[in-house]
Structure 1
Amino acid sequence: MKQRRPQCGAPLFIGVDGGGTGCRARIEDGQGRVLGTGIAGPAAVRLGIEKSMAALKTACFAAAAEAGLPPEALASMDAGIGLAGIGRKGALEQLMAQPHPFRSVIYVNDANIACIGAHGGRDGGIVIVGTGSVGLAVVGGREIRFGGYGFPISDEGSGADLGLQAIRMALRAYDGRAVATGFTREVMMRFHNDPFEAVAWMDRATATDYARLAPLVMRHADAGDPISRRIVRDAAEQIDELIRQLVGSGAPRVALLGGLASPMEPWLAPDVQRRLSPIEGDAVAGALYLARRAALARAS
């Protein structure tokens, strides 16, 4: 679809969703019409503030270019930006100290904008199942959060967690401590059937690297492999618990989001599946909601 050209002097807003796998930006006008979109590499704060800022700027400049705008046009836009890992100690303060190209900017956790977008700004909860995992709800203006403290100490049921469990089970099978299957053999082939190559890989691997094994786990589980099925069932139980906790905390609706949401949903408990609500908008929509709200607050 051809993007609309922005009208001269019309207010413009930009929303950014920066996660561990990639960064997306979208520019919209005051009527919510999309003018341009842009993508970039991972923007999670754990990768470093400089790398995070570089990724989000790349995505925003790409969105401006698609909208037919020069990079300096961002200076007239209010921005809402959600970044994975922004809850880390000192991360927000470091971000606020960085120069930015926008008229105004608000930084929040990527789960926050995903929740706002999923429910159109209304009360509700989400469980994100992607590179990481987290349960978050906004109820009566109060934010409720479960998990999402970062891999490997948290993020149960996530893509990174699936990848970690896959390598653990493959190494056990290699040692003869578990029965080898087509799944464990394929994992080991990633490391040329050498456990010490897996060790060398581990020394430099990020959560994103582990998460790249998740599709392999899901594929073998869906095909009936017993070891991968056990890994996915255990992950699904973790997601079940996050959803039940949100419902128990008063969330009137809960949506399942993230790159693994669709493949993981059939593995969830039947009562949990019945509690899931459809998604109204994406995380970038949530970021744009915050940008518009900030602009209104400044104008009032």
Structure 2
Amino acid sequence: MVFYLGIDAGGSNCRARLTSADGTVIGTGAGGAANTRIGFPQLYETLSGTADQAIRQAGLDDGQIATIRAGIGVAGFGRQGAAEALRAFEFPFASVAYQSDAYIANLGAHGREDGAVLIIGTGSVAHVRAEGRSFTIGGYGFPISDEGSGAALGLSAVRHALRALDGRTKSTPLSSAITARFDHDTASVVSWMDEATPKDYASFAPVVMDYAEADDAIARSIVEDAAQHIERFIETIFQRGAKRCALVGGLSQRMKPWLRERTVSRLSDALGDPLDGAIELAKHA
């Protein structure tokens, strides 16, 4: 008996899916942020805890746990030294294969066929498989990268809110909603900023989308700028050889109506999700 464990470790949350050899889902798990930026001790704790949830739900004993083949996609996998640090983690499984979260999203979306994905979630990154090549576009990390993402939307909203408090720009319902979380106090915003993570900034993304859809001028400008970055991402994906591309991630469906019709028409539906890709990685590692 062999079991397959797929884990999608992203900037905001970590998800696990455990299946039997025939593909039946027998356990799932969920945890918090699980990218390499949180530090490897914390990352190991999150991965272990999320995997343990799925294993307990499945009711596996120690002997069965030892047969598990795991595939894990981690945000920030491409950071210097990350692959080596991850491979030093000790799990009681038969095998563990690591890749980026973008890689497993691509596997899930297109199986082992050529294709590309653009992930729009807490961060943003594209992964392309074309003509024997496998590479990422973007995904360098917040704030230098992650264009069009939830974290980028949140950062723009906080900037606007601070300027509105100063009187440098006109206050809008969006800016009032943002500063209300800090009792409209600039010092409180700055104190929060000192410790804020990409996930913290991304927590404002639904608010930005809500106000943009309600025609708040600043919210619209923030979302329209994000849409332009996503458009350019997609253009680059096709320019670099991809035959098809799926838009995935927690923010993807809310952003799609803001894209041009001709761009949306080029997109393909994903065949499966990143956890499907992680299990595929486990099977073929």
TM class, shorter-length: over 0.9
Bigger mean CA deviation after superposition, 214-223 or 180-189: 180-189
Counting matched residue pairs gives 285
Which residue of 1 is the match for residue 32 of structure 2?
41
Return the alpha-carbon distance in structure 1 between the equivalents of residues 236 and 177 of structure 2.
36
The equivalences for 1:1-300 within 5 A come to: 10-70=1-61, 73-294=64-285
Q: Verify the 8 A CA contact 1:125 1:137 in the aligned structure 2.
A: yes
After TM superposition, what 4+ stretches of structure 1 lie above 3 angstroms from structure 2?
70-73
Q: Verify the 8 A CA contact 1:64 1:73 in the aligned structure 2.
A: no
Which residue of 2 is the match for residue 5 of structure 1?
none
AA in 2 matched with 1:78: R
Which residue of 2 is the match for residue 7 of structure 1?
none
Q: CA deviation at 1:74?
A: 2.6
Q: Verify the 8 A CA contact 1:163 1:210 in the aligned structure 2.
A: yes
Task: Give the secondary structure class of the aligned counterpart of 2:117.
Answer: strand
Q: CA deviation at 1:71?
A: 5.8
Q: Which runs of 5+ in 2 are unaligned?
A: none
Q: CA deviation at 1:146?
A: 1.3
Bigger mean CA deviation after superposition, 247-256 or 207-216: 247-256
Q: Deviations over 1:198-247 (max 9, x none)?
A: 10000000000000000000000000000000000000100111111111
Which residue of 2 is the match for residue 298 of structure 1?
none
Task: Give the secondary structure class of the aligned counterpart of 1:275.
Answer: coil
Q: CA deviation at 1:98?
A: 2.1
Task: Give the secondary structure class of the aligned counterpart of 1:162.
Answer: helix
RMSD between aligned residues = 1.1
TM-score in terms of structure 1 length: 0.93
Q: CA deviation at 1:196?
A: 1.1
AA in 2 matched with 1:158: S
AA in 2 matched with 1:47: I
The alpha-carbon distance between structure 1 residues 72 and 207, as it changes in their structure 2 partners (threshold 3 A), is farther
Aligned identity (percent) is 48
